[in-house]
Structure 1
């Protein structure tokens, strides 16, 4: 290939200390310098037109072909075997470690690769000796370190015991702190409860007592209408007190985990009709409830009574906190997995500052303190719905109304 080159190139080619091997695109050797001949133990004539694999140990032939093919495609100078060991095959049969740099070149329209090869046997031997020295040094260090291990372990054990003791003290302090916090919260709840009971029970009991006293005075037949009026008052007050007591019992059951749910399949029309029937007896003058009529094909597999309780609570609140001549809307939507109930009103709404606490037990919004109520209902509803895999949310604006949304799975899990 280079026989016709100038004398300077030939001199440089032969004088370079690295082994130089030039191969064509088929990996056939087309030129080799003296350093390479000496390195591999072959003469020039023995290597010309031979495949490059003659200089590579057999166990590396397969991988070598792939790397050379990749290099021919990339066509850029690089160090071959970076990150892995390379070996050359000497004519006498032994292998030796090498480093090789590959350089592509074009000549007379043909593509060649020039490999610069260095025998690194001495360096490898030095590295092995250094590694052996390091191993011996590490062994000595390990032996000396072993003498300190017992002391270190003892210190670790002492530190561990100290940490356990500190952790126990922290846990004890946290328990005391939690207990004090719970006691404070309990005292606050007791105070709220006593205030609630004294207020919510006193008014209806006073009404019952007054009606009972007046009832005894109306003995004539023509006074039956007055008797009926006071009997209804007593009945309504007793019903109200009964509902409060039921709420308290529900709270106790939810807290102690004694609630049991009865799941069954039912049509939504049955629940809605019951809710609307009971709500109609509470409507103020001019109030009206809009609710979907065409829901005969909708059904759920859930606890029917809990759904009725939840919807009744929202509808009764909408009636209670809305003025006369307003409309309460009930909307129902069902997809493949969930059923959504939305109860909207045009009532007093919830002040923004109170909205974060609206589901807290015994909490009542600032603008609702003069309206009869316990602040328990929404807390009970939310707890039940969470237990059934559902949820309740709301949006509200003071003096414009509220919209509460219940989402419940179509089938209890």
Structure 2
């Protein structure tokens, strides 16, 4: 996939998130240095690996089926709506992640670009807040493409899953 490297390689280094581009078979064709650092791999180690190597073993089989489904209906969207997602570092340490998917059509066919964020710090903050305020409900925002909600209305509250945050 030299085309992907030539077209996206330098550009991806300017993105603050970990970015991984994979082909329809789940092979990583390109990853920025932030992805290598996030998962604990040296530069150049990620291309050629299967995506499933970057997740805990308990999620791998279902991911293969989900990846296949995405190939038939590719669209920009957050991954794992309603589920907690985890990455797996090279040293075997699991960590919570947030992933957005974006289909990229190239001369070599459809690639899927994943923007990956480690949300460990956010999870620690949420747990600490729950411990300090056990009767205070944690905000529950629907996971949509319009995430995050307007920053002017961030008072702690629960929103029914059928409701959408007010537009900004």
Task: Please indicate the TM-score interval, normalised by the length of the shorter structure.
Answer: 0.7 to 0.9
Correspondences of 1:73-92 after superposition (within 5 Å): 73-92=72-91
Q: 1:10 to 1:31 in 2, by over 3 A?
A: closer
Q: 1:91 Cα shift?
A: 0.8
CA distance in 2 between partners of 1:44 and 1:69 (Å)? 28
**Which structure would you say has the larger Rg?**
1
Q: Distance in 2 between matches of 1:105 and 1:10?
A: 14
Q: Take 2:73 and 2:132, find their aligned partners in 1: how far apart are those partners? A: 41
Counterpart mapping for 1:204-215 below 5 A:
none
Q: Which of the pair is proportionally richer in helix? A: 1
Under a length normalisation based on structure 1, what TM-score does the superposition of the two structures give? 0.31
Give the alignment of 1:6-85 within 5 angstroms.
Answer: 9-85=8-84
Deviations 1:217-257 (A, max 9, x none): xxxxxxxxxxxxxxxxxxxxxxxxxxxxxxxxxxxxxxxxx
Task: Give the C-alpha shift of residue 4 in structure 1.
Answer: 2.8
Q: Give 1:109 shift.
A: 4.1
Matched residues in 2 for 1:105 and 1:133: separation?
44
Please tell me whether residue 111 in structure 1 is matched to residue 110 in structure 2: yes
Tell me how far apart the structure 1 counterparts of residues 66 and 130 of structure 2 sit (CA, whole Å): 29
CA distance in 2, matches of 1:58, 1:40: 15
Structure-1 separation of matches of 2:67 and 2:53: 15
Runs of 4 or more, structure 1, over 2 Å off, are 1-5, 9-12
Deviations 1:58-81 (A, max 9, x none): 111122122211111111111101
Find the residue that maps to 2:69 and give its secondary structure.
helix
| Mapped partners of 2:124, 2:51: distance in 1 | 26
Instruction: Give the distance between the partners of 1:65 and 1:101, measured in 2 at CA.
Output: 17
Q: TM-score, normalised by structure 2?
A: 0.74
Matched residue count: 134
What SS does the aligned partner of 1:45 have? coil
Provide structure 2 residue ranges, at least 5 long, that are not aligned to the other structure: 137-168
What residue ranges of structure 1 are gaps of 5+ in the alignment?
Answer: 139-413
Do the aligned partners of residues 45 and 11 (structure 1) sit closer, same or farther apart at CA in structure 2, a change above 3 Å counting? closer
Inter-partner Cα distance in structure 1 for 2:126 and 2:65:
29
The residue that corresponds to 2:130 in the other structure is 131
Cα distance in structure 2, aligned partners of 1:25 and 1:68: 8
The 1-side partners of 2:25 and 2:43 are apart by 19
2:5 matched residue in structure 1: 3
Name the SS of the counterpart of 2:26 in structure 1: coil
CA distance in 1, matches of 2:46, 2:94: 17
| Structure 1 counterpart SS, 2:5 | coil
The 5 A counterparts of 1:248-287 are none
Distance 1:59 1:120 in 2: 20
